[in-house]
Structure 1
């Protein structure tokens, strides 16, 4: 996968003129205005249950398929006690309420009854709440109705305790309501009244502005309200993986461009049909990150979510996503007008990723001079040091490698034209959904692409410029059939054998065979199994299936006839904390222990076959030194780090070369196990320039060889059509074969021993 290690250069922050993230009117103008809520009178209680996890999952699925208006009403259910249900029908007797009935029994007497005003004025403000208003003659039509209960007395504390027990409850409205003692109709158009004490629950804030329900007529009976108090919880539920929120009130973030004059705005969603829930925006942020990582774009580090109102009526929860955290001083946007409608902001909060707030950094401007030193660059085209029996020794081996990525584990990013020819790009973002869509044709479709994506001539071209190592990602489904998995389990091993036999027997290449995905999902990305899948962690069933895949790889190696030509890579870019993906925070301490235990299990299994077969530990962006305490020094391990500059903050094409050498030197400081750069490429964040590619390539190839045990370029073949910042498309910076054909990549001997570091 194309991930990254961030540059560490610090820089002063300079900001361009602000450019507001205006409301997406094409999105919000079509959102229906919710109907006014009518609190039922045929029961004493109705609670709307809200499943935040189910709603978040629905949001993730919607964002991954490009939807922006997301209805979460399927995550709510109504529950009513059957013992309190009352018969409805003309003149049916209704249960008596617990409040007093004024005399005379008229609406005007009810509204002026002093006992109601006294009760409202004397009511305590419950701990953890703020009183929004007091003693109004109207109830609320607020955001996110969550039900009600009739109380035996006007008790704000009891009402608060019930609200606290309801998922999503942010506020409550307590009031007296004049209701009919019989169901009004022919023969009883204006029956005597009863007084109910209602406690109504809401998933958004209460204000005097949305306290606009003054009652109604039912036949000739007038329903009215008195002693209405509103209370709002002082806190909202936290968003997993994000810091405590900043409250902006009735304003939203109006973000400027960042310190490199680039927009940090990633898009918007609006949620309807449920309570205000910051976890919905967090889910959208994470799903957008997964999508953007797949496309080598900036990930979501910050979101601003608020209640959006049209003409003073709340219509949904709006969510803006950003690649950088913005301070509350940028919360200046109050809304806009569209088509005669006035849109306003309220209940606005901002959340930053607890793993990485996305601080902007300007590029370093160090002058880079290519050394004319007499030192000779390492040659990786010569015979490689081996241990006894012909197995390689990664402490002395120098890999000049290329990944065969996107071949046996399909990635839409690197094969979009083919992908679009067999399925809809937006609804099949990963191989999992592709196979679900293709059904019985998944196998034949994928196998046809395995055969056409690359061939022996690909290996010939790689060898012509000195490539001596192939790193080949596979899915676990190439090795084991996991029940319930949508990934294709078929003849991948036959295609793998045909290519590796040719590479080994013709050119003596070394093969790193890797499990890019693990059962259940290893990082919430398309390459880990499927987007938003991470159930490999803490699941012994999936762990055991992973070991079955490892055993199958070892069987394949034993049967290959070239047992000395292999290294096994049992995991790739594992992360149990998606907001931190690409940084050390992407894998928690608990997750790291799970991964280490798994790796030790792989080492044990490998040793039973032959301990001289190396096991490669992908460092999951923790750094090589992090893993040293987890493994015994006698283990035949090599640490695999991934270094990319396409998402490194403030990385410009002209400033990459000096960073490469420093980074390679830093990685080499971890000495317990040999180090290897398993993935690297040429794309940078800003100002990609086709003429800079050769220098960037040569510098990285040289640095990985000089300081560590070499590296493997991602990837041999890419058909990516995505534009980059600057010149060209991603294919121009990621496809090794194209770079050879364009004369960018040449054998090291063509540079006469130039030292690039």
Structure 2
């Protein structure tokens, strides 16, 4: 593990880090303030190719968000209402023809069975850095972080992988077969003949099998269904950030920080996207900006201890998955640097779902050194 400047400075203060606590730190994943439950995205049925750029938040927006809603150990859940997208009625326009293998003149279930017989769930468990998280499902991924779709002319997961390799911020791909209409269904063509499409979607957040819940739709009398869906995700390629040193490894879980000589090093949590800052890809630099903004906020609001305030010296950037779907980027902020032996919070089971942690990466403030408390009064 990299030895950080801040860790050396903290060690010089003669504060010793105790052994990990026996139970996870009190971060209630179900109460994190995400908007992503209402922002699940994916391709429109009938789409054959599209590219979606990431939404990069301005640092000033992150700072203003901290000013209005600083990181605190307890967060209140807030949801946005998803706008309902309405499809324009079909006009029987011909749909793009796929030159790949076709499964024609089959009703939805026989079509799925034929596709599954041709493409059984035996795809490799790994493809380079990618790990298979599901195979052989009848649904496509539908969550936050959609980066685009490409129609491929064969069942070729390596072609889909290559597209993800080339796409900035791509952390996973979903390849599947879709039963589509040959015409845009309308009053004069309510149930057109079948086209079999091979589709590849790219994602900037990881996912599990629970995210593949987009099982199709009925367009007039035509039933769009999906089969042979496989999903792969890869680790984030961590590197140092401006003024922050990366530990560099994808940790088992999020940091579970115990008390430090009776003091809590945990400053609080920020989650994105929220009502004020939109983040639709995994980006630890957002957490770095939040960490600095939290230190600045604390320096201006420390009336209870007039000569001291807590500095953000360390953060953990990770993704919370609820029932397999990424909820967004989570940043937990600390005054103390904790090593990977404290990354033990792999998830929680709550009344409203099963939560898992993915893509946990830690960073240490490399500018200071500074103790957990910064003195502001002259000695």
Aligned match of 2:290 in 277, 284, 290? 284
| Alignment CA distance shift 1:19-1:257 (3 Å) | farther
Contact map agreement 1:126 1:156 (CA 8 A) in 2 = no
Q: Does 1:231 align with 2:232?
A: yes
RMSD: 3.4
Contact map agreement 2:171 2:203 (CA 8 A) in 1 = yes
| Alignment CA distance shift 1:178-1:141 (3 Å) | same
Task: Note the residue ranges of structure 2 that are not aligned, 5 or more in a row.
Answer: 1-7, 76-87, 302-307
Q: 1:346 matched to which residue of 2?
A: 357
Instruction: Report the Cα offset of residue 119 of structure 1.
Output: 7.5
Contact map agreement 2:138 2:225 (CA 8 A) in 1 = yes
Q: 2:26 matched to which residue of 1?
A: 21
Q: Distance in 2 between the 1:125 and 1:309 partners? A: 21
Larger relative strand fraction: 2
Instruction: Report the Cα offset of residue 648 of structure 1.
Output: 3.9
Q: 2:114 matched to which residue of 1?
A: 113
Rg larger for: 1
Offset from partner CA, 1:424-472 (integer Å, 9 cap, x none): xxxxxxxxxxxxxxxxxxxxxxxxxxxxxxxxxxxxxxxxxxxxxxxxx
Contact map agreement 2:125 2:131 (CA 8 A) in 1 = no
Instruction: Report the Cα offset of residue 6 of structure 1.
Output: 5.5
Contact map agreement 2:63 2:290 (CA 8 A) in 1 = yes
Instruction: Report the Cα offset of residue 9 of structure 1.
Output: 5.2
Q: 1:63 matched to which residue of 2?
A: 66
Q: 2:4 matched to which residue of 1?
A: none
Instruction: Report the Cα offset of residue 115 of structure 1.
Output: 7.3
Q: 2:179 matched to which residue of 1?
A: 178
Q: 1:95 matched to which residue of 2?
A: 96
What aligned pairs does 1:717-756 form with structure 2 within 5 A after superposition?
733-734=377-378
What aligned pairs does 1:301-320 form with structure 2 within 5 A after superposition?
301-310=313-322, 313-320=325-332
Q: Distance in 2 between the 1:88 and 1:9 partners? A: 69
Q: Distance in 1 between the 2:116 and 2:371 partners? A: 66
Q: 2:264 matched to which residue of 1?
A: 263
Offset from partner CA, 1:685-708 (integer Å, 9 cap, x none): xxxxxxxxxxxxxxxxxxxxxxxx
Task: Note the residue ranges of structure 1 that are not aligned, 5 or more in a row.
Answer: 70-86, 354-578, 584-646, 651-682, 685-729, 737-757
Offset from partner CA, 1:73-94 (integer Å, 9 cap, x none): xxxxxxxxxxxxxx97332221
Q: 2:80 matched to which residue of 1?
A: none
Q: Distance in 2 between the 1:300 and 1:143 partners? A: 28
Q: Does 1:34 align with 2:38?
A: yes
Instruction: Report the Cα offset of residue 217 of structure 1.
Output: 1.6
Q: Secondary structure at the match of 1:297?
A: strand
Q: Distance in 2 between the 1:55 and 1:113 partners? A: 49
Instruction: Report the Cα offset of residue 275 of structure 1.
Output: 1.7
Instruction: Report the Cα offset of residue 159 of structure 1.
Output: 1.6
Q: Does 1:335 align with 2:348?
A: yes
Q: 2:202 matched to which residue of 1?
A: 201
Q: Distance in 2 between the 1:12 and 1:215 partners? A: 56
Q: Does 1:252 align with 2:245?
A: no
What aligned pairs does 1:604-643 form with structure 2 within 5 A after superposition?
none
What aligned pairs does 1:624-703 form with structure 2 within 5 A after superposition?
648=371
Q: Which has the higher contact order (CA 8 A, sep 6+)?
A: 2
Instruction: Report the Cα offset of residue 324 of structure 1.
Output: 1.4
Q: Distance in 1 between the 2:209 and 2:325 partners? A: 12
Q: Distance in 2 between the 1:130 and 1:24 partners? A: 25
| Alignment CA distance shift 1:286-1:98 (3 Å) | farther
Contact map agreement 2:238 2:361 (CA 8 A) in 1 = no
Q: Distance in 2 between the 1:114 and 1:150 partners? A: 17
Contact map agreement 1:139 1:211 (CA 8 A) in 2 = yes
Contact map agreement 2:218 2:224 (CA 8 A) in 1 = yes
Instruction: Report the Cα offset of residue 51 of structure 1.
Output: 5.2
Contact map agreement 2:238 2:249 (CA 8 A) in 1 = no
Q: Does 1:216 align with 2:221?
A: no
Larger relative helix fraction: 1
Contact map agreement 1:132 1:208 (CA 8 A) in 2 = yes
| Alignment CA distance shift 1:234-1:580 (3 Å) | closer
